Amino acid sequence: MGARIQGLILSAMRDIGEKRSFDIHAVMSRIREAVRPFPKAALSQLADEGYTSAFEQLVACIISVRTFDEVSAVCARNLFRLGRTPEELAALDPGRIDAAISAATYHEVKAQRIHAAARRITDEYHGSLPCDRDILTSFPGVGPKCANLVLATACGQNRISVDTHVHRIANRWGYVDTRRPEQTLYALEGKLPQRYWAQINLLLVPFGKNICTPRLPQCSACPVLDMCRQMNVTAHR
């Protein structure tokens, strides 16, 4: 751990008994530094590797549902070796798609959905997936989280993608008070500065996997402990 992060942690620990006012700008800055050593979320990592089209990101997100990032990225790479465009995947037998992503959960269903999406994009949109939220969410298996990730990562739109990590951590901070990810999305759209909309998922996924974990979060290693309200945290490390 770098000296700068250690300093942030020590500063936070000094104030553990008296929480500071929540400063989202300081929080995002500290977390950005804290997650540098950790692997990126699957779609972000794939984008860094050149899989940046809206279709590639859509396919990767379909694969990622209820699947660990490490597995999702491997499955996506396997599939993209067979084809990276709607036309190429539409021409494949669904069984070949299934074999390429067989390590993912619900791979049979996902293979059928990917194949159907590739055919529809080829037929209806001439092989070019529009950067349109309503169109994206019209594909089976694509909800607001995936649609907004595609729009932010591949289309350059300023969108908030709320997964379980973003939902849990934003509530744990006390920054929002919601029960479902959909409610968290609306709450964040109403108060999170837009400069952080596309960033919050990229930062909180590795933060949530490595520090602010679902069970026994590592509060002793948290760089924002002095501002976090630790809502519903009954035990921690």
* Residue pLDDT, tens place only, 54-85: 999 999 999 999 999 999 999 999 999 999 99
Alpha-carbon torsion (134, 136, 142, 148), positive or negative? negative
- Domain 3-35+160-221 CATH assignment equals 1.10.1670: yes
Tell me what the pLDDT averaged over the chain comes to. Answer: 93
For 154-206, write each residue's pLDDT tens digit. Answer: 999 999 999 999 999 999 999 999 999 999 999 999 999 999 999 999 999 99
Is the CB of residue 85 less than 8 Å from the CB of residue 52? Answer: no
Predicted TM-score (pTM) of the model is: 0.86
Largest CA distance in the chain: 61
pLDDT cut 70: percent of the chain above it: 93
Q: In Å, how far are 96, 111, 117, 220 from 90, measured between CA atoms?
A: 11, 11, 8, 50
Same fold, 3-35+160-221 and 42-153: no
211: Cβ contacts below 8 Å, ≥ 6 apart: 34, 217, 218, 221, 222
Instruction: Choose among 96, 94, 134: nearest CA to 118.
Output: 94
pLDDT of residue 76: 98
Task: Dig out the tokens for 117 from the structure.
Answer: 């999406």
Q: Could you tell me which CATH class the domain 42-153 is placed in? A: mainly alpha
- The answer to whether residue 127 scores a pLDDT higher than 80 is yes
What end-to-end distance do the CA atoms of the chain give, in Å? 17
The residue ranges of every structural domain in the chain are 3-35+160-221, 42-153
Reference 168, options 213, 228, 218; nearest CA is 213
How much is the pLDDT for 17?
56
pLDDT at 4: 61
Give residue-wise pLDDT tens across range 204-229.
Answer: 999 999 999 999 999 999 999 999 99
